[in-house]
Each structure stands twice: as C-alpha cells, then as structure tokens.
A and B are shown apart, each in its own frame.
Chain A
Amino acid sequence: MASVTGGPLVGHARSRPLSQRFRALLLRSEALRGYILLTPTLLVMFLLLVVPLCGMIAFSFFTQVYFDIDFTLTLKNYWSIIKPGAGNTYLGIPFPFETPVYTILLVKSLLMSLVATSVIVLMAYPMAYFIAFRATNHKFLWLVLITVPLWTSYLLRVFAWKVILGHNGVLNSGLISIGVIEEPLGFLLYNPAAVIITLTHAWLAFAILPIYVSLEKIDRSLLEAATDLGDSKLIRFLRVTLPLSLPGVISSALMVFIPTVGDYVTPAQVGGTSGIMIGTIIQRQFGAANNWPLGSALSIFMMLAVTAIVCLFLWGVGNDRIKARGA
C-alpha cells in the first residue's frame, strides 16, 4: 500500500497539499504513527501527573498567609522543616530542629515501612516459590487466590484490623470468651506495631507476584545443571535460584516500600497518636492546619527521602552483584 501512494509522492511532494503530504509521512514513519496513537494517553498523563507535580513543586516555594497564598518564591517552608533549634530525641537519636516533629515523623515512617517491607518480602518469597515450583496442577487457582485480595478495598482491609485489634474487638473478646484472659488487652490497637501488622497484611499479596514472575522465568535446565554438578538443594537455591530471582525481590520491595511510607489510611485507622506517620501530618496541612505550601514542601521532602533511600538500596544491590560477578 505504501508503494502505491509513496511512489509518485517522492517527486511531487512540495506541490501536493499539506494533508496529503502528512498522510504520506504517516504511512512511511512507523514511529510517527505510534506516537500519534500514544498522544491521548500522554496528554492525559501530562495533565494529570506532570502538571500537578510541577504545581506542587511551585507551591512548596509559596507561603500561606491566613487564607491567602503569598506567591513570592521562598525556601521558608523547607527551612521550617530543618531549622535548627532545641529539638527532641526519638529512639535515642537527637533531632536538633526547631520543629522536630516533621523529621521525627519522616524517620519514623521510613523505619515503619522498612520493617513492614522486610517482613512482607520474607513472607512473600516462600509463597511465590511454592506457586512457581510446587503448585504444578493448580497454578491458575493459586494465582487467582493471591490476586483477588489485591483488588479488594484497601479501606476495608485496614478496617478489618481495627475490628480485630480493638479494645472490645474480635481478638480480645474471643480470648476472653475462651478464658485465656480476663481483661481486654489494651496494647493491641493504636500503636506502631498495629500499623506494621496492618500494612503487612494489606500489601503482602502485592509482593508475591513480582517474585513469582522472576522465579517462573528461571530456566529449569540451570537448576538441573547445578544438581548434576553436585550442588545440594540448599547450595543450589543460594547459588542459582536466589540470585536469579533477585530482580523480582527488588521490585516487590520497592513496590511495597515507596507507597507505604506515605500511607494515610492505615495510621489514621489503627495508629492512634503513637502510630501516626508523615502522611497524617501532610494531610493535616490540607485540612485543619490549612497550610498548603507547607504540606507541599513536606510531601516533596518525603519523596526526596524515599528516592534517596531507593537509590542507596539499588546502588548497594548493584555493587553486590558486580562484586559477585567479579569473584
């Protein structure tokens, strides 16, 4: 088809109307047709992601004056997060800032997410391994079983834990009715541990799939070769299976860690005052505290910290792999 229209066009391109020249170009350039197909999607992404992120960055340099915004560019919001002062200590670490609550909450959120992510990846790995290597007959069923919870309401999954851990909740009343305890245990809900438990449950299914995919991709003949060359099962796992599944482990760790740092629902429902995270205080700037510029600065501060940790992690993993290859 291209040759029919393309042939005569080459010589007379300049004398043809613009629309026909455009059509000819379209027929010849595969990439151009691809970009045209992509245009609506990219436009939507630009309007709903790029523009809002730029707006948020711009806002973080403005100031809130009562109900109005002062549009003079300033670093005041960022400065208020890290301004030196008397400070406070958290977990024995001094935070010498005038308003230490922001940095303390950030570090606390990062730590809580790191703990939850580690637990999740450790719990997800054997499950993924089981589906990839052992569940030969009912693989489809197992995959559906772990996919379904991903798509059910996050709010309801978190709410379920509030119901379980509450003072008069399922766990306490259950234990009382079977006679294990006499008084409700007060320490179950409204603390960091409750947040970590809830996060672990809510994000576990997410972590299984990437690990499963990387395990499933492993060429089975490599495993046979390792066995033939005399590796025991454990050594084979450590030398072949685990390194080859590392990309899946890394992507599932990132897929859980990054979103959970900024979680708002879980700390609000089961965290109480001791379990609040950075997301709680960011949300407050857009609600009761009504300081949108500071809220923007805190969000960006949070994402920068997350990005730094992710880069550090990937760099560390990369270094390890290079070393392993060199050895």
Chain B
Amino acid sequence: MKRAMHLNLLGVYAIFIVALLYGPVLLLPMFSFNDSIYIAFPLKGFTTKWYQEMATNSALLAALMNSLKVGIGVAIVSTVLGLTAAKAVIRHRLPGKTQIVGMIMLPLLLPSLFLGIALLIILRKVFSVDLSLWTIGAGHVLICMPFSMLILIARLEGFDKSLEEASLDLGENAWGTFWHVTFPLALPGVISSLLLSFTTSLDEFVIAFFLGGNDTTLPLFIWSQLRFPAKLPGVLALGSCILVLSIVIVVLAEVVRRRGVQSSKPTVF
C-alpha cells in the first residue's frame, strides 16, 4: 500500500516535469493558428493565414535555404570527424586519451557566447575572413562534433572488436574492413549523428549571430522579427514548423540509435 503511494507520487511528479518541459513550447503551435496578431487569451478563431504568409516571404525562404545548406554541410563534416575520432579512441590504445577526449568535449561545456566571440576575433581580426555561411558552418562544426563523437563512441562500444579482427584475419585490408564491417555496424550511430548535428545547426543561434555577417539563417531571421510585435504571429508559425521538424528528426534519431544499441549500458548521448 505504502509502496503504491510512493510510486504514484513519483509518477505524478514525472508527468508534471514532462508537462513542464513541453507545455510552454506547445503554446507556440497553438497560437500560430489563432486569428489575432496578439498572442493572448481568449483565442479568436482558427486561421492558417500566418502559414500562408510564410510561404510567400522571400527573406524567410532565403534564410531557410541558408539553414539547410549549413545544416547539411555541418552534419556531414561533424559526423565524418566524429566517426574517425571515435574509432581512434575506442579501437586503439592511445596514451593521453582522456585528455584528448576532454578537449574535444570542451565546446559542449563552454558558453556559446564565449566560442562565438573567440571565433569572431580570430576570423575577422587575424585572418580577415569575410563572415558568411562558411564561418557559421565552422562554428557549428565545433559544437556538433563532440555530440557526433559521443554518439559514435557509444555505438562502437556496443559491438565486439573481434568482428573487425576476424575481417582482418580473413584477409580484408584496413580500408575494406572499415567499409564492410565497421561502417555497417556503426550505421545507426552515423544516421543519428547526421540527424542530430543537422538539428543542432538548424536551431543554433548565438554562434550564427556572431559569425553570420550579412547572411541569415532561420534563427537569425526569427531574432530579427522579434522586435516587431506585428511580426510575432509569423514567428509563431515559423517556430512551429521548426519545432515539428526538430521533434520528428530527433525522435527518428533516438529510435534508430537506442533500438540499435546491443549493449544495455546506459548512455547519456
């Protein structure tokens, strides 16, 4: 009896936390269908006009294209770098491994403002590079690569090293072993790393804010609209689309990754 009570109390609390995590964010889609420029109760009526306006906004579409370009590029680069680094760390006995992994993880811990400023200084004042989508992409690789590496380390740890050794023993060279054994086994991790890097880049604001110059990505576009109260319903519609896209991608990535893991070891990422 007492045990059941305890379980219920924690269960109620867990539901409360999930409601707290999702509630505020779900207000955005709700009000994006509201027929009023004020984001307030009572709801006025159902409309899709904010979504229709969005489709004809050329600045928004340009920002969307920019975000897609950066996101896809960043996803590929950070996954390739994350995979090679994860393989090196997991499959080879490296002196100084802890320090190396620690350094690669550092961008996850530092405030993105700090990273953005440091990159801005070096790019503008030392190398005199013009700010563009390329510089945004470089900044995003810095914060996506640690995630990719963590995901792929977890994946590579999940299957037996002897599979690769068997392939080498049976006469396959290192390159063939990588493509025919390691890569297919790591594939769920690779897919989820691609997807999660893409959403991270798609949603990242602060680094893009410092390194964007005249080029705009979707979060930068949203930021520029926030000053104008009349633009807010449009921001809600756009924000809702981004939210839905992110959630779909993340759920997909999680399902691919967690279902694919053979070991039952708990992993953070």
A154 to chain B, nearest CB (A): 7
Q: By the criterion CB–CB under 8 Å, are B20 and A44 in contact? A: no
Interface assignment of B200: CB less than 8 Å from any CB of chain A: yes
Q: By the criterion CB–CB under 8 Å, are A149 and B25 in contact? A: yes
A155-190 toward B: CB 8 Å interface, digit per residue (1/0)? 111011101101011101110110000000000000
Q: Show the binding face of A for B, using Cβ within 8 Å.
A: 1, 30-31, 33-35, 37-38, 40-42, 44-45, 48-49, 51-53, 55-56, 59, 69, 123, 126-127, 129-131, 134-135, 140, 142-149, 151-157, 159-161, 163-164, 166, 168-170, 172-174, 176-177, 201, 204-205, 208-210, 212-213, 216-217, 254-255, 258-265, 269, 279, 282-283, 286, 292, 295-296, 299, 302-303
- Given A130-B14, A170-B41, verify A282-B196 contact (CB < 8 Å): no
Please measure, in the bound complex, the distance between the C-alpha atom of A258 and the C-alpha atom of B106, giving whole angstroms: 11
14 other A-B residue contacts (CB within 8 Å) besides A42-B85, A255-B109: A49-B103, A53-B118, A59-B125, A126-B13, A148-B254, A151-B249, A153-B202, A157-B25, A159-B28, A159-B226, A173-B41, A263-B113, A265-B206, A292-B125
User: Which B residues are CB-close (under 8 A) to A130?
Assistant: 10-11, 13-14
- Given A1-B168, A56-B121, A123-B17, verify A169-B40 contact (CB < 8 Å): yes
Interface centre among A152, A153, A265 (most CB of B within 10 A): A153
Q: Is the interface of A mostly helix, strand, loop or mixed?
A: helix
Interface assignment of B64: CB less than 8 Å from any CB of chain A: no
Q: By the criterion CB–CB under 8 Å, are B14 and A38 in contact? A: no
B240-268 toward A: CB 8 Å interface, digit per residue (1/0)? 00110011011100110010000000111
Q: By the criterion CB–CB under 8 Å, are A34 and B251 in contact? A: no
Interface assignment of B63: CB less than 8 Å from any CB of chain A: no
In-complex Cβ contact of A134 among B11, B22, B87, B120 (8 A): B11
Please measure, in the bound complex, the distance between the C-alpha atom of A264 and the C-alpha atom of B93, giving whole angstroms: 40
User: Which A residues are CB-close (under 8 A) to B267?
Assistant: 213
25 residue pairs bridging A and B, Cβ less than 8 Å apart: A34-B93, A38-B100, A42-B85, A44-B81, A48-B138, A51-B122, A56-B117, A129-B10, A134-B14, A142-B14, A153-B205, A153-B246, A156-B243, A160-B24, A163-B28, A164-B24, A166-B39, A168-B40, A170-B31, A170-B40, A174-B40, A201-B21, A282-B113, A292-B121, A295-B117
User: Which B residues are CB-close (under 8 A) to A159?
Assistant: 28, 222, 226, 235, 239
- Given A49-B107, A155-B219, A259-B112, verify A44-B145 contact (CB < 8 Å): yes
B262 to chain A, nearest CB (A): 15
Q: By the criterion CB–CB under 8 Å, are B111 and A156 in contact? A: no
Q: By the criterion CB–CB under 8 Å, are A155 and B254 in contact? A: no
Please measure, in the bound complex, the distance between the C-alpha atom of A131 and the C-alpha atom of B249, giving whole angstroms: 23
Q: By the criterion CB–CB under 8 Å, are B121 and A296 in contact? A: yes
User: Which A residues are CB-close (under 8 A) to B17?
Assistant: 123, 127, 146, 204, 208
In-complex Cβ contact of A146 among B21, B100, B145, B242 (8 A): B21
- Given A173-B41, A177-B42, A261-B111, verify A156-B13 contact (CB < 8 Å): no
- Given A41-B85, A130-B14, A292-B125, verify A259-B117 contact (CB < 8 Å): no
A117 to chain B, nearest CB (A): 14
Q: By the criterion CB–CB under 8 Å, are A44 and B141 in contact? A: yes
- Given A146-B21, A254-B109, verify A296-B117 contact (CB < 8 Å): yes
Please measure, in the bound complex, the distance between the C-alpha atom of A259 and the C-alpha atom of B89, giving whole angstroms: 26
In-complex Cβ contact of A153 among B106, B126, B226, B239 (8 A): B239
A297 to chain B, nearest CB (A): 11
User: Which A residues are CB-close (under 8 A) to B61?
Assistant: none
User: Which B residues are CB-close (under 8 A) to A163?
Assistant: 27-28, 31, 39, 232
Q: By the criterion CB–CB under 8 Å, are B112 and A152 in contact? A: no
Q: By the criterion CB–CB under 8 Å, are B27 and A170 in contact? A: yes
Q: Is the interface of B mostly helix, strand, loop or mixed?
A: helix
In-complex Cβ contact of B141 among A48, A145, A258 (8 A): A48
Interface assignment of B210: CB less than 8 Å from any CB of chain A: yes
B16 to chain A, nearest CB (A): 9
User: Which A residues are CB-close (under 8 A) to B87?
Assistant: 37
Of the four ranges (under 10, 10 to 19, 20 to 34, 35 or more), the interface on chain B belongs to 35 or more
Q: By the criterion CB–CB under 8 Å, are B113 and A38 in contact? A: no
Q: Show the binding face of B for A, using Cβ within 8 Å.
A: 7, 10-11, 13-14, 17-18, 20-22, 24-25, 27-28, 31, 38-42, 80-82, 84-85, 87-89, 91-95, 100, 103-104, 106-115, 117-122, 125-126, 138-139, 141-142, 145, 149, 168, 196, 199-200, 202-203, 205-206, 210, 219, 222-223, 226, 232, 235, 239, 242-243, 246-247, 249-251, 254-255, 258, 266-269
User: Which B residues are CB-close (under 8 A) to A173?
Assistant: 38, 40-42
Please measure, in the bound complex, the distance between the C-alpha atom of A82 and the C-alpha atom of B149, giving whole angstroms: 41
In-complex Cβ contact of A151 among B7, B14, B31, B246 (8 A): B246
Q: By the criterion CB–CB under 8 Å, are A279 and B13 in contact? A: no
In-complex Cβ contact of A144 among B141, B210, B251 (8 A): B251
User: Which B residues are CB-close (under 8 A) to A217?
Assistant: 266
Please measure, in the bound complex, the distance between the C-alpha atom of A115 and the C-alpha atom of B106, giving whole angstroms: 24
Q: By the criterion CB–CB under 8 Å, are A148 and B251 in contact? A: yes
User: Which B residues are CB-close (under 8 A) to A31?
Assistant: 92-95
Q: By the criterion CB–CB under 8 Å, are B122 and A259 in contact? A: no
Please measure, in the bound complex, the distance between the C-alpha atom of A33 and the C-alpha atom of B125, giving whole angstroms: 37
In-complex Cβ contact of B106 among A49, A131, A151, A168 (8 A): A49
- Given A130-B11, A201-B21, verify A151-B200 contact (CB < 8 Å): yes
User: Which A residues are CB-close (under 8 A) to B223?
Assistant: 155
